[in-house]
Structure 1
Amino acid sequence: MIINNVKLVLENEVVEGSLAVKNGVISAFADTNSQLPEAINGEGGWLMPGFIELHTDNLDKFFTPRPKVDWPAYSAMSSHDALMVASGITTVLDAIAVGDVRDGGHRLDNLQKMIGAVRNSEQAGLNRAEHRLHLRCELPHESTLPLFEEFMNIPELGLVSLMDHSPGQRQFSTPEKYREYYQGKYRLNDDEMEAFQESQIANSLRWAKPNRMAIAEHCNRLGIALASHDDATAAHVAESKALGSVIAEFPTTEEAAYASHQQGLQVLMGAPNIIRGGSHSGNVAAQHLASLGLLDILSSDYYPASLIDAVFRIALDESNAFGLSQAVALVTRNPATALSLQDRGVIAEGKRADLVLARAHQGHHYVHNVWRQGKQVF
């Protein structure tokens, strides 16, 4: 296969030319166009490596499309997978919550079903994107550690994050934001919210620290990449580094992002934060971190199509030093490096032919075609 007449987004530059694929890998690329009539005409679009998504809870939405609605597992998985590739994502770590911030939450009910659907569909070759698992361990919960130990040896597990969403911790450092978020999410009245808040604080004091230590120890022993989550202070970051974290997910302050860089952790922020111009929780803006050179990885988080939009917004923003190659690296090379996925993430000979062809219309950038290992999947 030859893809012709494209702007190749390479590691350090963008060049106009063509790219050839053989047996699922990139066999050659050049700054000239092929003369072969069977070459695919990219019509001047941008050809980039396939996007690598490290933290998306999008699968949740398909398993429970409405409150109290449980959707069949393989139908949910198929719909989720289709949306991933349509967004340019060829490698996805499906983030599944272990433990929950509320007893009886649907995530606990769906835990086995979601993990089974990801594993079985991947093993059967049903997916268009390559799916792996990211276990989001909600630390202030008595069930978190035994549930994690049940799944920690499965081969599809690629990333574990440690989080504490109790009031006064990290993401919700102010009580007002905590109440605003969870009262809206769970439709709690004031008395119910007060009881919920008190139980979460008690659970955090009882379970967060021992669960954090035990899960980190398991990950280090098994060689599973570990991520911190919502670190707010340099002390949080120092703790995360000591536990063996390699990724800092969604640091909530400039102080924490800077400390993460100093400690060698890759800073991951949400692409929706870029699109919206700030954090829905009132935390530090991803664009601000980009302007300081403190942004390494973008995740679509809850909105898959945000990746491509955020990449071009960062590349076109004059307040930072990102060109298009550096912006694309936020969703390709850098997440691949964080997980030691050495076979993908860049356009280079011998690398997997996971590719995204993007085009623009009236200032909007969109995914036009996607290939995974040389096979067109969108």
Structure 2
Amino acid sequence: MAISGGQIVDGTVGRRVDLSGYLVLPGIVDVHGDGFERHMAPRRGALREASHGVVACAAELAANGITTGVLAQFFSWEGGMRGPDFAEHVFASVNAVAPSLPVDVRLQLRLETHLLDDYARAEAAVDQFGISYVVFNDHLPHDRLSEGRRPPRLTGQALKGGRNPEDHFRMLLDLEARSSEVPEAASALAARLVAKGVRLGSHDDHDAEMRQVWRARGALVSEFPETLSAASEAAGAGEPVVLGAPNLVRGASHKGNASALDLVQAGCVDALASDYHYPSPARAAWRLVELGVCDAPAAWALVSDGPAQVLGLTDRGRLQTGLRADLIVIELDTHRVVATLSAGQVAYLSGPVAARFIA
């Protein structure tokens, strides 16, 4: 395989690097990850220059074989690191350093549906920062709030957002009281975003009916569906389904939702994403092989070609002439990533294989 100008090309060019004894695979395309949060603010309020955190995050992506990483940033009523102020800080920081990073880092805006008064601000952020992927979330604890009861873990959530717990509770009740306004507002915003060419998704679809609602609004990616019925509804309509790789690695959802392994076996999954743990996509692919669920090419496609298609990125995800030279080198026995090339440039290099590149 030859590389020139950041692409895979025919013929022989440049210096030969012998990688016999290793696996050479397409780079991982991570369609949704929020493991970057600790890089942006390792302690609450301790780091003001998030651009340095973006650089550190890109290094971690490369070390885990991720050549395209989508940073899924909340735009939420939760405040703190998930509030609009911090989101805009992250977006600006990523855009400032993205051209200099060793891997392709992109942005996703995760909009809480009940943040009605900030819809215009979210749309403005999409325009200002060139965000091409927006996902709608609804994390309000409706069961408790509809009964006027305090949700669990309210105090900790309030303090994370820099709020007094009582003020936070009143805010949640106010948001819940406006639930009837959400469908019309979300539909109108979604229509405007679709008209701008923004890719839309919904997060945590509860069931088939919810998937149908978001489909009607133009949100055609189903991220982390909570049930088989929701995933099946999306898959049956030819809509991309994204599940968390950590879910598959640990064998179950940490929230008690549908098992990613079960959904892969049901043929309902197009992509496995890092979610909160960047090492998990590669590990999940090998786990599928170990369990005999599928062969290595099919398993690896769930973290490379599949996610690339979800994002509409037709120039990557496979080792094929004319595509981006995004590839990783893996040890046969340990399956450890020892080298990562993004657009033909070395983004990560470790261990004995380094001698083959620099000799």
Q: State whether structure 2 residue 254 is matched by structure 1 residue 272.
A: no
Partner of 2:330: 358
Question: How far is 1:260 from its partner?
Answer: 0.8
Three-state SS of the structure 2 residue aligned to 1:40 is coil
CA contact (8 A) 1:141 1:207 kept: no
Give yes or no for contact 2:244–2:274 (8 Å, CA) kept in 1.
yes
User: Equivalent residues in 2 for 1:286-325 (5 A)?
Assistant: 286-318=260-292, 320=293, 322-325=294-297
The reply on whether 1:201 has 2:176 as its aligned counterpart is yes
TM-score by length of 1: 0.82
> 1:43 Cα shift?
4.0
Percent of residue pairs bearing the same amino acid type: 27
> How far 1:186 sits from its partner (Å)?
5.1
SS of equivalent residue, structure 1 residue 278: coil
CA contact (8 A) 1:145 1:214 kept: no
1: distance between equivalents of 2:54 and 2:324? 24
Partner of residue 203, structure 2: 229
Give the direction of change, closer, same or farther, for the CA distance of 1:84–1:105 in structure 2 (3 Å limit). closer
Can you give the 5+ residue segments of structure 1 that lack an aligned partner in the other structure?
1-18
Quote the offset at 1:155 in angstroms. 6.4
For the residue of structure 2 that corresponds to 1:315, the secondary structure is helix
Structure having the higher strand fraction is 1
Question: 2:264 corresponds to which letter in structure 1?
Answer: A
Aligned to 1:161: 135
Pair 41,266 (structure 1): closer, same or farther in 2 beyond 3 Å: same
1:136-168 deviation digits (Å, cap 9, x = unpaired): 111111343112221222464221101111124
Partner of 1:16 in structure 2? none
* TM-score normalised per structure 2: 0.86
In the alignment, is the contact (CA less than 8 A) between 2:27 and 2:326 conserved in 1?
Answer: yes
How far residue 207 of structure 1 moved from its aligned partner, in angstroms, is: 4.8
Other-structure match for 1:26? 8
CA positional deviation for 1:208: 2.9
Q: Which amino acid letter does the alignment assign opposite residue 24 of structure 1?
A: G
Separation of aligned partners in 2, 1:218 and 1:58: 29
Match of 2:357 in 1: none
Which residue of structure 1 lines up, in the alignment, with residue 63 of structure 2?
86
Which residue in the other structure is 2:337 paired with? 367
Contact conserved, 2:74 with 2:109, CA < 8 A, in 1?
Answer: yes
2:80 and 2:51 map into 1 onto residues whose CA distance is 23
CA distance in 1, matches of 2:156, 2:335: 33
Superposition CA RMSD, Å: 3.0
1:232-285 CA-to-partner distances (Å, cap 9, x unmatched) read 111111111111223100000011111111122111001111122111111001
Matched to 2:322, the amino acid is G
In the superposition, relative to structure 1, how do residues 45 and 110 fare at CA in structure 2: closer, same or farther (>3 Å)?
Answer: same
SS at match of 1:358: strand
Q: Cα deviations across residues 82-122 of structure 1 (Å, max 9, x unaligned)? A: 11111111112221222x24255653331221111111112
1:113 aligned to 2:113? no
> C-alpha distance in 2, partners of 1:342/1:168?
40
DSSP-derived class of the 1:131 partner: strand
Change (3 A) 1:302 1:181: farther
Does residue 46 of the first structure (1) align with residue 32 of the second (2)? no
Q: Against the structure 1 CA distance between its residues 61 and 262, is the aligned structure 2 distance closer, same or farther, given a 3 Å change threshold?
A: same
Preserved CA contact (<8 Å) 2:273 2:303: yes
Q: How many angstroms does 1:340 deviate by?
A: 1.9
Instruction: Flag structure 2 segments of 5+ consecutive residues without an equivalent.
Output: 349-359
Structure 1 position 339, deviation (Å)? 2.2
Q: Which amino acid aligns with 1:113?
A: H
Deviation at 1:200, TM superposition (A): 4.8
CA distance in 2, matches of 1:119, 1:232: 33
Matched, 1:329 2:311: no
Alpha-carbon offset, residue 307 of structure 1:
1.0
- Rounded to whole Å, the distance in 2 between the matches of 1:254 and 1:183 is 33
1:343 matched to 2:325: no
